[in-house]
Amino acid sequence: MTMDVKDIAPADAGDLGGLNHGRSGIRAAKNSLATVVIWAAFVIALLPLAWILWTVLSKGLSTMLDVTWWQKDQSGVGAPGFDHNVRGARHAIIGTLMIALGTSVIAIPIAVMTAIYLVEYSRGKVAKAISFMVDILSGVPSIVAGLFIYAVWVTFFGWKLNGFCSSLALVLLMVPVVCRSTEEMLKLVPNELREASYALGVPKWKTIVSVVLPTSFSGIVTGSLLGFARVAGETAPLLILAQYSQFLNQNLFSGNLAALPTLINTNLPNMAGDSVSADRVWGAACTLILLVLVINVIGRVIGHFTKVKS
């Protein structure tokens, strides 16, 4: 007895349809579960950040919005007959900007040129050695960088400490951050752009300057700002190399120089029993957050108006 295939096809098709429907349901359940887990992880990561921002802003915003915070330093604090309730931080704000800008002037060109060499030119052992050293620098603790500069600057040469020493120590921390981010941005530039430029007879160095760098400029700016944000809040090298001063010092290469992290460290021991010291600590922390925010907004604006349009 023979059986026609058409007689069993509908039943098999129904079984296969049910099997596919079951698999689709399992996939949908897994997708929903993964979505819930990802959103939960996002919320868990966001909660500490929101808590920190709320704590700093609620306790330091009023101090930061006071005009005297930006106009006065702490000259005379501790002297007889002086108002000890002064909450000025002009000396620390200017010192932080000077140290961070001095670091950026040195670190950003070195990091960008190193990234260009690694991506565009070198393909051998030299590139591997340089890449390895950048990885080593990215893992160096900030206190070790400060001790290294102290050993070279004071122990070996016998020179006096100043704010520039802090900038040199922070260069060691900023270079790997900017170098790695710039390297990734250069790798994202399509090779077709380089090949089109070479086909027109443009030299390689001019292709880099005229095609590669403008295409990745917004990413390079973002990486530079990440490095700036890191060095602006570093404390350990400043404790060793930039001795705190209550006075405004506008010379990066001479004398003690205050900064917002050292202002926080100086007032932190008296924070529990002195409301003025507590206001200075929270005001300096809030000012650091505002400083990083403003720098990032400026970088975004610069990157928006300078990126290559499609």
pLDDT at residue 272, as a whole number: 80
Looking at 39, 65, 91, which one is the last position of a domain?
65
**C-alpha closest to that of 260 among 64, 81, 48, 110:** 64
Q: Which domain does 39 fall in, by range? A: 5-65
pLDDT at residue 5, as a whole number: 47
pLDDT at residue 306, as a whole number: 65
Q: Alpha-carbon distance 149 to 155, whole Å?
A: 9
Looking at 65, 80, 96, which one is the last position of a domain?
65
Crossing angle of helices 275-306 and 90-116, rounded to 10°: 40
CATH number at residue 250: 1.10.3720.10
pLDDT at residue 66, as a whole number: 87
pLDDT at residue 17, as a whole number: 58
The domain tally of the chain equals 2
pLDDT at residue 15, as a whole number: 56
Length of the chain: 310
pLDDT at residue 14, as a whole number: 54
Claim to verify: residue 110 and residue 11 sit in the same structural domain: no
Q: What is the pTM of this model?
A: 0.81
Claim to verify: residue 224 and residue 144 sit in the same structural domain: yes
Positions of the chain with pLDDT lower than 50, given as ranges: 1, 5, 8, 310
Claim to verify: residue 160 and residue 273 sit in the same structural domain: yes
pLDDT at residue 107, as a whole number: 95
**C-alpha closest to that of 283 among 113, 15, 64:** 64
Task: Give percent of the chain with pLDDT exceeding 90.
Answer: 33
